[in-house]
Amino acid sequence: MTPPSDAASRSGASVWTVAEQSGGRLGRTSYELLAWGRRLADKLRASGRRGAELCSVVLGAEVREEDLRELVLRGADAVYVVESPALRDFLVEPYAQALQRLIAEHRPWVVIAGATSMGRTLMPHVAVRIPTGLTADCTGLDIDEETGNLVQIRPAVGGNVLATILTARHRPQMATVRPRSAAPPERVEGREGRIVKAALTVESLTSAVRWLGLRGFPPDEASLQDAEKVVSGGRGLKKGENFALVRELAETLDAAVGASRDAVDRGWISYPHQVGLSGKTVSPRLYVAVGISGSIQHLAGMRTAGCVVAINNDPDAQIFQAADFGVVGDLFEFVPALVEEIRRRKAQKERNA
């Protein structure tokens, strides 16, 4: 797309989110993106740009109507739906063809997607086709009220600085946002919005790749991002065998097991457990950090946790700045004592029940 004129910049300033579906059901990321999109659309509208509505795009096959309606209840003003057998499973070429055509027809101002395996594959493909800019793995998004530019904030230089990126001369402005970086908006019963079945020639959606199947992670690895409680271990455990302490505490708390990048790089635990910029973003009610110093990269992966408990023998460890409760002490003494106390209280509760 060519750079918009000032007149064009004040019309059609819609914000689009790209929903994700599997088996006809929308995933949590689809709703999380609405939280970001709603703030951006509202700010564009407040700055005087007409048509600043929030739209969600759904690409798939036989997507449940109640899920489409859920997007409206959680903030979407319009939902554009493209359905085709070619879109049943994610293949980047037909998905990119469909999204590119929608963008060409409706000319949105901003398009955002989750920094998931789908979003990280689809969005660069579309950005090159349009062409426009794309900022990946954003941890913050905002609108410059004067220009209407999307302010895209992401970690850079190994996570040691936060870079602010603008796409000043091309539209739409595109970005991916890390999952769990925002909570899904609350449902508003009775909220009205449009569900539009897009009139595309879906038969022309083609791909040089054939879908063979999907192999998932083992259950204990797949549950990390959805867990209500997470216990993570880091370099302070000193060796891989000591990760048994983390696993024992996690089992006692009915929590998932996480890890810092240091622990994964040392081979103490597999990559699907990694929390941080180069791993998974989690947002549990309880996050327990055992022997984790608290690098910027790790903190970015768990900063939206409800309650953070840190256990470290270094009183100056960075993790304590993000902690609600901190324990300065020897984890090899404290964690077994904590496990014993939790078990004692559980047993007492069962006896009193």
Compute the Cα dihedral for 24, 131, 31, 283 and give only its sign.
positive
What are the respective helix, strand and coil percentages of the chain, to the nearest 5? Answer: 35, 25, 40
**Is residue 214 domain-resident?**
no
Q: Is there a single domain that holds both residue 245 and residue 294?
A: yes
205-224 pLDDT, tens digit per residue, is: 777 788 887 776 666 555 78
Residue 209 lies in a domain: no
CATH number at residue 155: 3.40.50.620
109 and 71 within one domain: yes
What is the predicted pLDDT for the residue at 7? 32
Reported residue count of the chain is 353
pLDDT digits (tens, 9 = 90+) for 249-281: 999 999 999 999 999 999 999 998 999 877 888
Kindly report the backbone phi and psi dihedral angles of residue 308, in degrees, each rounded to the nearest multiple of 5, phi listed first.
-115, 125
pLDDT for residue 49: 83
> Nearest Cα to 45, choosing from 129, 189, 148, 119?
148
How many angstroms separate the Cα of 266 from the Cα of each of 52, 243, 293, 297?
48, 12, 15, 17
Whether 241 and 128 have beta carbons less than 8 Å apart is answered as no
pTM over 0.85: no
Please tell me whether residues 343 and 249 are part of one structural domain: yes
Shared domain check, 347 and 227: yes
Partners of residue 111 on adjacent β-strands? 16, 174
Asked if the structure places residue 213 within a domain, the reply is no
Overall domain count for the chain: 2
| Percentage with pLDDT > 90 across the chain | 61
The pLDDT-based confidence of 3 (bands split at 50, 70, 90) is very low
Q: What is the CATH number of the domain that holds 340?
A: 3.40.50.1220
In degrees, rounded to 5, the angle at the alpha carbon of residue 198 between the alpha carbons of residues 3 and 44 is 40
88 occurs within a structural domain: yes
Check residue 9 and give its pLDDT.
Answer: 35
> Do 126 and 181 have their domain in common?
yes
* Residues 27-49 pLDDT 10s: 989 999 999 999 999 999 988 88
pLDDT in tens, 52-109: 899 999 999 889 999 999 999 999 999 999 998 888 889 889 999 999 999 999 999 9
Q: Looking at residue 194, what is its pLDDT? A: 92
Tell me how far apart the alpha carbons of residues 76 and 195 are, in angstroms, rounded to a whole number. 10
Residue partners of 215: CB distance under 8 A and separation at least 6: none
Shared domain for 35 and 170, answered yes or no, is yes
Average pLDDT over residues 166-175: 92
Pairing of strands 15-18, 110-114: parallel
CA-based Rg of the chain, rounded to a whole angstrom? 22
Confidence of residue 163 (pLDDT cuts 50, 70, 90): confident
pLDDT band with cut points at 50, 70 and 90 for residue 337: very high
Q: What is the mean pLDDT of residues 114-126?
A: 92
Tell me if 323 sits within 8 A of 309, measured CB to CB.
yes
Domain span at residue 330 reads: 219-352
Whose CA is closest to 112, among 85, 141, 88, 90?
141
Q: Which residue has the tokens 């505490």?
A: 249
Q: Is the pLDDT at 12 greater than 80, yes or no?
A: no
